[in-house]
């Protein structure tokens, strides 16, 4: 059975969320193990992870391919183009 666009989107976002979580953990460990290198990360990595989790939660409410298309154009693509707006 072929995966629906909804399931493919959920799988993509779940993998993305896992990647972001692993990256953020590595960043936090590096910060605690060494002197700051002039990078002021503030809370951006955590806000980014929260935004990806929010996208996943929103995508979980989609029911058909047409809604996936709308979600991509209204939420996911703008987020990918301008993540600094989170």
Measured over the CA atoms of residue 33, residue 34, residue 35 and residue 40, the dihedral's sign is: negative
- pLDDT score of 27: 80
Kindly compute the dihedral angle of the four CA atoms of residues 11, 13, 7, 3, in this order, to the nearest 10 degrees. Answer: -50
The tokens describing 13, both together, are 């976002």
- pLDDT score of 37: 55
The 10s digit of each residue's pLDDT in 22-72 is 888 888 888 787 765 554 455 677 788 889 899 999 999 999 989 999 999
| In the chain, where the domains are located | 5-85
Sole residue written with tokens 């951006």: 44
pLDDT of residue 1 exceeding 70: no
Flag the least confident range among 2-6, 12-16, 23-27, 35-39.
35-39
């Amino acid at each position: 059975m072929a995966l629906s666009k909804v399931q493919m989107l959920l799988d993509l976002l779940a993998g993305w969320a896992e990647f972001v979580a692993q990256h953020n953990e590595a960043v936090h460990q590096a910060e605690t193990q060494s002197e700051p290198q002039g990078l002021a990360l503030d809370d951006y990595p955590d806000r980014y992870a929260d935004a990806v989790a929010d996208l996943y939660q929103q995508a979980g409410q989609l029911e058909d391919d047409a809604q996936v298309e709308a979600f991509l154009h209204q939420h996911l693509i703008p987020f990918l183009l301008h993540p600094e707006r989170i």
